[in-house]
A and B are shown apart, each in its own frame.
Chain A
Amino acid sequence: MIHHIIEVKNLHYIYPDERKALNSVSFRIVHGDSVGIVGANGAGKTTLLMLLAGAFFPSQGEVIVGGVPVVKKNLPLIRQKIGMLFQNPDDQLFMTTVYDDVAFGPRNYKLDGQEVEKRVSQALAMVGIEHLQNRAPYKLSGGEKRAAAIATILSMTPDILVMDEPSAALDPRSRRGLITLLNGFAHTKIIASHDLDLVFELCDRTIVLKDGEVISDGPTATILTDMALIEQSGLEAPLSLQNCPVCRARKESL
């Protein structure tokens, strides 16, 4: 299935204020892959995702999604394929009610009223926030906003999900719900996160960024257990792999 392949070739990005955020990043993600992008604050994760979704354009190099280069004239096509969850849900929710916000995307694609309604109620049910549908998005709690933002993406039924810190601000149960939800999603997923436990559970593959460069790329199980690498990238090992904080017993597995 060529249409879900993402290819990033020698990507550079420099912000208008001359800050180099990405330096020569290359990778290839095939259909159905679930890839974690990890790295410390300021490593360039958000910048990379923005380039994938065509929110910015590279200073050098290129991004190809499903055989289509991400350039201005292909954006409508790219946007149908990629659903992008922003790091800050406040940026993503702009209508007066949660329902209208979730319906915004489907309505833009001129679907008929019934189909829009169906998609919206499905998306709301998937993230479990049907009860919030008539509330104003800007009056929700942080976690509720996050859930609503995810629903706005799901209602577009994208082929590829790109998420920036999806679990930030979620309480443990909602986080668990999110993990279950994403695990059930068979399409390509790209998840930038500091939540290494989430990456560990959701992603088969992990790319480690540091100062805008890929310092490692491989199976999650190998990368996240490589303590030297984790240390070098400025992160901490996933809790599930750390020793028990109470009894100091070492984890048996791995």
Chain B
Amino acid sequence: MQVLLKGKLGGAKAPPQIFREQIAVFRRSGYVFLWGLVLHMKDIMKSLYNIRLLDELAEKQTVVHSIHPLAKLLTTMIYLIVVVSFGKYEVAGLLPLIFYPVIIIALAEIPLLPILKRMLLVAPFALGIGAFNPIFDNATMFVLGGFRLSGGWVSFFSITIKLFLALMGTLTLIVTTGMDRLAAALRMLRVPRIFVLQLLLTYRYISLLMEEVARTMQAYSLRAPFHHGVQPGVWGSLAGNLFLRTLQRAQSVYQAMVQRGFIGEYNTGYDSRMTINDTLYLCGWVVFFLTVRFYNIPVFIGSLVTGVGK
């Protein structure tokens, strides 16, 4: 494989190896980021009341919320890149990165439980990605108190931790920024308008769909008080109805948007300039991430302790 890659890269036009790796990392972090967004959309709280909880959290007024969306977006992107750039078998070095979401959640006064619940929703996917590693990669790496720990298990832990961190990072971004401002930040980064628009409308559509589902279920259960769940015979017409109604509502909402001068550019009233504070926020975190990336802090602390012990 290595040889093959090198062979390919030998050509004059191919990008140098180092860039290739970075591109791959970028791509991976892009997937993780999108996945985080999908996760938010998968907001399946049953009651109408909770459907837009994350939107509401984004309206809080805390230090973190007041940071410029672009600064937060860049911080999160760098965070994701740092997370996925750790080696396949790295576990301990990753751990200090948990401080980022934890500190943000604390400062932004975000209730932890709903966030963790949403994380649980995708846990099966997350575990699925690394699930085969222990089977395919069973060369012994450590022996821990008589237990043989294979490379597969170590990489499995590593992947799980990375996904957990990436999801936490993305969720805290959404919850402290809000989709509209996030879109504005993406536009400031010159992400093509069409993609941002698609993201926003999909996001709107999902919350409309959720609301219609909740309403339909309410209407159904009021008229069928003795059924537990929806009877199989009604599923088809219920689902079809739901689809058409949501489509209709999405169209009306879109109409209302264009009626008011919407031309595909979401204008959230933010100007693109960041203040000194925003820049400091960004730089502060980047310094922290890079320190964690290039110095294995747990090992460092460990050696300090053992050094003192000697």
Contacts and interface: CB of A to CB of B under 8 A. Distances in A.
Interface string A88-121: 1011101111001001110111100100100000
A160 B253 CA distance: 21
Interface string A116-152: 1000000000000000001010100000000000001
A53 to B, nearest CB: 6
A31 to B, nearest CB: 21
A91 B253 contact: yes
B252 A79 contact: no
Given A53-B259, A116-B269, A86 B252 contact: yes
B256 A156 contact: no
Contacts of A43: none
Contacts of B55: 96, 136
A96 B257 contact: no
A183 interface: no
Contact of A91 (B211, B249, B262): B249
B69 interface: no
A59 interface: no
A234 B283 CA distance: 69
Interface residues of A, number: 32
Contact of B256 (A86, A97, A109, A136): A86
Contacts of B180: 95-96, 100
A55 interface: yes
A76 B263 contact: yes
A88 B252 CA distance: 9
Contacts of A83: 259
A245 to B, nearest CB: 34
Interface in B7-55: 52, 55
A136 to B, nearest CB: 6
Interface string B240-266: 000000000100110111111111010
A142 to B, nearest CB: 14
Contacts of B58: 96
* Residue of A55, A103, A110 contacting most chain B CB atoms (<10 Å): A55
B255 A91 contact: yes
Contacts of B271: 113
A92 B256 contact: yes
Interface in B57-106: 58-59
B178 interface: yes
Most buried by A among B59, B252, B268: B252
B118 interface: no
A152 B256 CA distance: 10
A108 B204 contact: no
A108 B260 contact: yes
A161 interface: no
Given A75-B258, A76-B263, A108-B267, 13 more contacts: A76-B261, A79-B258, A91-B256, A92-B256, A94-B204, A96-B52, A96-B58, A96-B180, A105-B260, A113-B269, A113-B271, A134-B59, A138-B211
Interface of B: 52, 55-56, 58-59, 178, 180, 204, 211, 249, 252-253, 255-263, 265, 267-269, 271
19 contacts: A55-B255, A79-B258, A79-B260, A83-B259, A84-B259, A88-B252, A91-B253, A94-B256, A96-B52, A96-B178, A97-B59, A104-B262, A107-B268, A108-B262, A113-B269, A116-B269, A134-B59, A136-B52, A156-B261
